[in-house]
Chain A
């Protein structure tokens, strides 16, 4: 549900940027979303399409990259992506207990939501859509 809020923040930021750069059209947007963020990428794409309508973002390609979650145990220094030996109820979200010693794990990465790259048509790069 909150994908709509987050996607509207993404779209707002892109529209601000396009305006600032005087872009006539946004061609491609790269998003990086951590797998520890409870964001459904399908939902983000769906909301993006709706929010892009009637703006310079309409018709742009939205590319998403999912970054695995990085966890570290503060007690025994265990490092890992997922506590894989857990049951299906977790839907890929790891418990924050160390699989080796049971202590609490801290999140070291994979919790971001970042606009990594944008390609847009600038007045000086007419027709090219080259990275600007």
Chain B
């Protein structure tokens, strides 16, 4: 799948090798440290989606949104998602990911899956898995970015419990969906 070497500059038309995982980890750690030092905030992802959902619920049913503490929390932070810190940060994540993929010649239209499952089957499972991820993240007040990485680096007890549970849940499920990937 990948050889772990170097910075990963692409030559010819072949995709570049991925960066050494420890080096990439240090890169992410330094970005997180910069976020702490500059903004006093960590990185996140799930909060951005919650803020977009709250925006649209408020558009369609303002009364319901105002009565609901969950939507209200996001609506009181920013009048629209484009003024929300996490939403703008996630736009940045997409840009940064695309730039990295483009430089390494990894940008391609493809459905990533194992050889034993159809495109439709894989996409249906992607949707179901995505729904579970979104639900779990709201339940736990954060995802692998906000809880595991940000909260983990700050030694938040709940964040570490969450991270252990994520790995437990994933390892426990992997066997049952092995035909999707392998």
Q: Tell whether A pairs with B.
A: no
**A residues engaging B (CB < 8 A)?**
none
